[in-house]
Amino acid sequence: GEDVEQSLFLSVREGDSSVINCTYTDSSSTYLYWYKQEPGAGLQLLTYIFSNMDMKQDQRLTVLLNKKDKHLSLRIADTQTGDSAIYFCALDGGSYIPTFGRGTSLIVHP
């Protein structure tokens, strides 16, 4: 089955850019997603990218997809304390159910 890997923690200073990385094993996904989980809440879809795209930009968010290296990244520009959360990448793997990574805890400090 699909294996999705993320680093567990990322610490950045407020105002800097954050880059959260995700690697995967199965290249059959049509859609790749980034979800955000704030403390005490469920996951919320942040953005997604279609597999035939290399990049997608949405305000402060930039998603990069390198299909050759099976690498997905989420860049958050001008990171704010409100961006502190757990970020999950997820892939559909051509099935109904997305496979989630373990999540990266983003810590933003002043």
Partner 1 sequence: KAGVTQTPRYLIKTRGQQVTLSCSPISGHRSVSWYQQTPGQGLQFLFEYFSETQRNKGNFPGRFSGRQFSNSRSEMNVSTLELGDSALYLCASSLVGGAGGKTEAFFGQGTRLTVV
Q: Contacting partner 1 (CB under 8 A), which of 17, 30, 66, 81?
A: 30
Asked whether position 74 contacts partner 1 by CB under 8 A, the answer is: no
DSSP code per residue over 39-99: TTS-EEEEEEEETT-SEEEETTEEEEEETTTTEEEEEESS--GGG-EEEEEEE-TTSSSPE
| Least distance from partner 1 to the Cβ atom of residue 72, Å | 16
Subset of 36-55 contacting partner 1 (CB under 8 A): 40-45, 48
Query: Which stretches of the chain bind partner 1, using CB under 8 A?
Result: 30-31, 33, 35, 40-45, 48, 88, 92, 94-103
